[in-house]
Amino acid sequence: MVQQVTDSLPYPVRYASADDPQSLGSSWIAQQWDAARIEARSHADGSLLVIDEIQKIPDWSESVKRLWDEDSRAKRPLRVAVLGSAPLLIQSGLTESLAGRFEVIRLPHWSFTEMREAFGWPLDQFIVHGGYPGAAALVHDDARWMSYVRESLIEPSISKDVLMLTRVDKPALLRRLFELACHSSGQVLSYTKMLGQLQDAGNTTTLAHYLDLLSAAGLVRGLQKFAGNNIRVRGSIPKLQVLNTALMSATTGLAPGEARTDPEHWGHLVESAVGAHLANAAASGVCELYYWREGDAEVDFVVRQGRRVTAIEVKSGRAYPTHRPHTGTTLFSQRHKVHRQLLVGGDGISVEEFLSHPVDRWVGG
């Protein structure tokens, strides 16, 4: 994306990657910065410095802060874009020292529309294989595709993004929690029940922290129950949600080619695809995302955008108890001020139509 943008710019662009083995630290950043300053002086519109994989440089944010402040005081016409593939490490550097000096552009998982336009995928293909463009060439070989997702995408995200960022006393527990979240996407599970399934004697606070880390790494997250006020929301039992259905297909042990023939598994995939579409929008700041449950009544997803609250029920083809259909949204609407009620799937908005448009279309004014 950055390459496409920079190719069209009318001023000089200097690109540098911290993947280079000679990238040792702050002095390397300063060298690249000074070269870009020289280019900025030679052009009326200044220049742009792009530094890729910035998170690999120790204490990178301190160097960027110092150099940026120098340019601001000197009124130098230098623009800077820092890129990183580790969301946790990037966010940590931004919040520690660069307050007020940056604008974040988040790039979530690829959407159905993007995968369809890039690779010609139909809906069923996207629901099974999710939004990883790098894995698209392998979808006709189930074993290679699953291996690629597990070893080239999941493992680096956990071992490098999560475990390098913060102290994790029980890395094995964090990995098992990730697998449980993939197997149980769409289910509401208490932390106590999770610990039981994970056969661990840890405490629920540790488990909640690990789930937050996995969410920050762009893998899975726990949706909180909508309660109408933020005090009660935070302490609720979470609903597990993958941020990319490829994670489910790669970890459940069921080959992607077999997924469509298993109605229960397919239903979980469909609901999780809708949830991932909403969750990625929430991660980008478009909205807030919750679920709701009271007794047997449940609303799959509750989306809040400003003061507007939208209740979304997904009819995925899974077998539901006879009491469940539509009673959740009816009861929820009686207890909360609802802007809109949506049914996705079945006789409502088709799943393909819902995933083909930004979330703003469905929850906005």
Q: What share of the chain is helix, strand, coil (3-state, %, to 5)?
A: 50, 15, 35
Per-residue model confidence (pLDDT) at position 74: 94
Q: Count how many Cα atoms sit within 13 Å of the Cα of residue 78 in the half-sphere of its side chain.
A: 26
Q: What percent of the chain has pLDDT over 90?
A: 67
Give the residue among 236, 222, 360, 255 at the shortest CA–CA distance from 303.
360
Q: Which tens digits make up the pLDDT trace of 2-17?
A: 888 999 999 999 999 9
Q: Determine the average pLDDT of the residues in 232-244.
A: 83
**CB-count burial class (<10 Å; 0-12, 13-18, 19+) for 215:** buried
Greater pLDDT, 28 or 166: 28
Residue 355: C-alpha distances to residues 123, 126, 186, 280, 345 (Å): 9, 10, 17, 12, 11
End-to-end, the C-alpha distance of the chain in Å comes to: 30
User: Which stretches within the chain are classed as H helix?
Assistant: 2-7, 26-41, 60-74, 87-97, 112-119, 123-129, 142-148, 155-156, 163-165, 171-183, 191-198, 204-216, 230-233, 245-251, 256-259, 263-283, 327-335, 351-355, 359-363
Structure tokens at 55: 């998170």
Alpha-carbon span 221 to 205, nearest angstrom:
15
Q: Are strands 220-225 and 78-82 parallel, antiparallel or unpaired?
A: unpaired
Q: Is the pLDDT of residue 323 over 50?
A: no
**pLDDT computed for residue 128 by the predictor:** 96
Summarize the confidence of residues 299-322 as an average pLDDT.
Answer: 84
Stated pTM of the model:
0.87
Whole-number Å distance between alpha carbons of 128 and 87: 25
CATH of 2-97, one of 3.40.50.150, 3.20.20.140, 3.40.50.300, 3.40.462.10: 3.40.50.300
Asked whether the predicted pLDDT for residue 322 surpasses 50, the reply is: no
For residue 326, the model assigns a pLDDT of: 61
Positions of CATH 3.40.50.300 in the chain: 2-97
3-state secondary structure of 108: coil
Helix (H, G, I), strand (E, B) or coil at 340: strand
Q: pLDDT tens, 158-201?
A: 987 788 767 888 999 999 999 999 999 999 999 999 999 998 77
Give the strand pairing for 220-225 and 288-294.
parallel
Cβ(50)–Cβ(84) under 8 Å?
no
Q: Are 45 and 10 in contact (CB under 8 A)?
A: yes
Contact 96, 64 (CB under 8 A): no
